[in-house]
Amino acid sequence: MQSIMEIHVQKVRMYGFHGLNAGEEIIGGEFEVSLTASFIPVELPISKIEQTLDYTAVLEIVKERMKKPAHLLETLATEIASEIIAKYLIVTEVSISISKLHPPIENFQGGVGVTYRIKRN
């Protein structure tokens, strides 16, 4: 029987300077990031941080990338997920969702976002 473990970083709110519209790179906006990283545990039970994926380290990758402006949420999502799967060899899959909470769209209330999944071959 194969076990799969997932760590979650959920609904992390950050301020960033991402977008295509004029001025977004200057005034910025609020974003929400959630991600799941899956891995196959080497042994169970997991009782030490070395046996798992440290979600604080994953969060640091998200925070560092979100500091650098990008025109598209798709760019952010693919780069973050790709960095996580490249850096942590135990990770088999990453799913990330990024939402722009207050997009500059006329007569629109709500958010917009993307979800990206990447699996290790």
> Does residue 45 have a cis peptide bond before it, meaning omega lies within 30 degrees of 0?
yes
Q: Is the pTM of this model over 0.85?
A: yes
Encode pLDDT of 99-108 as tens digits.
999 998 899 9
pLDDT over 90 (residue 82): yes
Average pLDDT rounded to a whole number, residues 79-84: 98
Using a 10 angstrom Cβ sphere, with 0-12 exposed, 13-18 middle and 19 or more buried, the burial of residue 41 is middle
Average pLDDT rounded to a whole number, residues 1-22: 94
| Continuous segment of H or E residues that includes residue 81 | helix 73-87
Average pLDDT rounded to a whole number, residues 73-99: 97
**Is residue 113 classed as helix, strand or coil in its secondary structure?**
strand
Average pLDDT rounded to a whole number, residues 46-59: 95
List the beta bridge partners of residue 32. 13, 99
Which segment of 19-23, 34-38, 78-82, 117-121 scores lowest on mean pLDDT? 19-23
Mean pLDDT score of the chain, rounded to an integer? 95
Please report the DSSP string for 31-49 in residue order. EEEEEEEEE--SSSS--SG
What is the rounded CA–CA span in Å between residue 70 and residue 77? Answer: 10
- pLDDT in the model for residue 86: 97
- pLDDT in the model for residue 88: 96
**Is residue 56 classed as helix, strand or coil in its secondary structure?**
helix
Q: Which domains does the chain have, with CATH numbers?
A: 5-119 (3.30.1130.10)
pLDDT over 90 (residue 22): no
**Is residue 80 classed as helix, strand or coil in its secondary structure?**
helix
